[in-house]
Amino acid sequence: MRDIMGMMGKVKEMQAKMEKMQEEISALEVDGSSGGGLVTLRMDGKGNLKGIKIDPSLFKEDDVEILEDLIVAAHKDGKDKAEAITAEKTKALTAGLPIPPGMKLPF
């Protein structure tokens, strides 16, 4: 019976840690860039776009497709950075738990 109570306490502790980590991830801000810094996006930890900066040299009529591609690439760069930070925080939080490899947390 004590083992069950101890386990329940650990589950509650883990839940509180996960909630705190999710708040930290939401507050996280990352920059994604492409084109050698010609396009820079600011995103939160969940991948929501917060801001964009575009070098004025890209504002030419015949460069629209290039600009569109650079924006997509900058977004991917920012999202990849946010996911890497999230994975690092999750790994630290779940250290020692028997979680299968490749399982993403938080769900």
pLDDT value of position 25: 82
pLDDT at 63 over 80: no
The CA distances from residue 98 to 32, 49, 94, 103, in Å, are: 33, 34, 9, 11
Model confidence band, residue 100 (pLDDT cutoffs 50, 70, 90)? low
pLDDT value of position 102: 60
Q: Is the pTM of this model over 0.75?
A: no
Cα–Cα dist 39/58, whole Å: 9
Q: Residue 49: enclosing H or E segment and its boundaries?
A: strand 49-54
